[in-house]
Amino acid sequence: MDNLTHSLVGLTAARAGLEKLSPGATALCLLAANAPDADVVVLAFGDRWTVLQHHRGITHAIVGVIALAFVLPLIFYVVDLLWSRFRKRQPTINFKGLLLASFIVSATHPLLDWTNSYGIRFLLPWNERWFYGDLVFIVDPLMWLILGGASFLLYVKKARWGSKIALVAFALVLVYWSLLALAHSRAITRGGEEARRMASANGETVARLAAMPQLANPFRWDCVFETDEATYRFEVALLDSVASDNAVRYPRETPALKAMISQQRPARIFLGFARFPVMQLEDPGCTTRTLVQLADLRYTEPGKSRGTFSLEAPIDCPVRQIGR
């Protein structure tokens, strides 16, 4: 999720009662809610492909989140201890209270990130498998409304309704996620029916399928599925009884082409991240050199620029055909 959502979760959690555990708990909750995204610091030491390789990496994994959840309150405690000695007063920080708040709020970050289609690698460094919730778009205005509205009311009605407003906000988020889970289940069912129809028309069999939410519209979902011959993408409208007519199909790449492309660092990193990678030649009839256009079909198509979700890699000609 975006950092505004993470920050609002941290602030709401503090107002729900965690701020009472220790002085400085509110500031710690805001930091703990965003701490795993500190992995973007790798941008200072590399390029955008370095960020793609390491983002939502070890700092988002179980072991990384636990380490950050312990280190943050320790920093608060040490700074308060040194400052209190300098000012010749008693320390004010309750380390155990901050530790409890840090663990609770830190856990919300990977949970929120899991709910979208970008994915998260919980088991690093031992296993690089990606996990996808596919429930919430990576930027969700309704989440902003619920948590942002609660944050506003928490300041206006803090004395009387503070913790209740915060708890109601979290309850509404859980209800919202439950409704999205039902919509996702329906999208998978309907998308699966469409996928089997498309695959059968081409003499193929569906191998795997995903349904992913669109921005601010729980009734329209993007479906992507693979067969042994191709990767497809189409849109599912839950309130529309008409079959989808907007499907795109990309033949699977040949092993030789994939091996050739994987020798290039950006392509290797991209293929390690992409959930549904597809390729096409910019000029299939080239005689010297051309570009292989790669894309993650979750987000875009080959030849359409979309940041680190697409890539053009130079390659020598002639080359074997992409499709089989």
- Taking only the tens place, the pLDDT of each residue in 8-21 is 999 999 988 899 99
Q: Write out the two tokens for 81.
A: 């201890």
Residue 82 scores a pLDDT above 80: yes
Cα distance between residue 173 and residue 50, in whole Å: 33
Give how far Cα 237 sits from Cα of 34, 213, 249, Å: 34, 11, 19
Contact in structure between 206 and 198 (CB atoms under 8 Å): no
* Listed residue (168, 66, 48, 162) closest to 109, CA to CA: 66
Count of domains in the chain? 3
Token pair belonging to 171: 């309850």
143 part of a folded domain: no
Q: Does residue 305 share a domain with residue 189?
A: no
Q: Is residue 155 part of a domain?
A: no
Query: pLDDT, tens digit, for every residue of 127-181?
Result: 999 999 999 999 999 999 999 998 888 876 555 666 888 999 999 999 999 999 9
Whether residues 86 and 7 share a domain: the answer is yes
Q: How far from chain centre, in Å, is Cα 99?
A: 26
Q: Please check whether residue 57 is in contact with residue 120, taking contact to mean a CB–CB distance below 8 angstroms.
A: no
pLDDT (mean) for 241-261: 78
Q: Are residues 97 and 28 in the same domain?
A: yes
Report the SS3 class of residue 118: coil
Please tell me the predicted confidence (pLDDT) of residue 230.
95
Considering the domain architecture, whether residues 104 and 226 belong to the same structural domain is answered as: no
Mean pLDDT, rounded, of the chain: 89
- Give the β-pairing of 230-237 and 310-316: unpaired
Please tell me whether residue 105 adopts helix, strand or coil conformation.
helix
- What's the N-to-C CA distance of the chain in angstroms? 38
Are 8 and 129 found together in one domain?
A: yes
- Is the separation of the CB atoms in 187 and 49 below 8 Å? no
> What per-residue confidence (pLDDT) applies to 323?
44
Q: What is the pLDDT of residue 324?
A: 43
Same domain, 281 and 239: no
pTM, rounded to two decimals: 0.91
Higher pLDDT, 59 or 321: 59
State residue 136's pLDDT score: 95
* Cross-strand bridge partners of residue 210: 224
Which range of residues forms the domain containing residue 240?
Answer: 183-249
- Asked whether residue 208 is assigned to any structural domain, the reply reads yes
Q: Is 274 a member of any domain? A: yes
Do 126 and 7 lie in one domain? The reply is yes
CB atoms < 10 A from the CB of 9, how many? 26
Among 118, 133, 148, give the residue marking a domain's end. Answer: 133
Q: Flag whether 116 is in a domain.
A: yes
- The answer to which of 73-82, 103-112, 282-291 has the lowest mean pLDDT is 282-291
Q: What is the mean predicted confidence (pLDDT) over 16-36?
A: 94
> Which amino acid, 299?
Y
Residues 23 and 127 grouped into a single domain:
yes
User: Which two tokens mark 50?
Assistant: 């370095």
* Tokens found for residue 295: 């894309």
Q: Which residues contact 265 (CB under 8 A, 6 or more apart)?
A: 49
In tens, the pLDDT along 38-55 reads 998 888 888 888 988 889
For residues 213 and 300, membership in a common domain is answered with no
What is residue 241's predicted lDDT score, i.e. its pLDDT?
A: 67
Residue at which a domain ends, from 67, 102, 133:
133
Give the H or E element holding residue 316. strand 310-316
**Which pLDDT value is given to residue 197?**
93
Element (DSSP H or E) covering residue 280 = strand 277-281
**Is 80 exceeded by the pLDDT of residue 268?**
yes
Instruction: Specify the residue for token string 């990977």.
Output: 110
Q: Which two tokens stand for residue 64?
A: 């990384």
> pLDDT by residue (tens digit) across 88-125?
888 899 999 999 999 999 999 999 999 999 999 999 99
Q: Are residues 240 and 258 in the same domain?
A: no
In a domain, 170, yes or no: no
Domain membership flag for residue 304: yes
Residues 12 and 125 both lie in one domain:
yes
Residue 149 is assigned to a structural domain of this protein: no
d(CA 147, CA 163): 13
Which of 96, 102, 97, 111 is closest to 170 using CA atoms? 111
Which of 32, 39, 34 lies closest to 5, judged by CA? 34
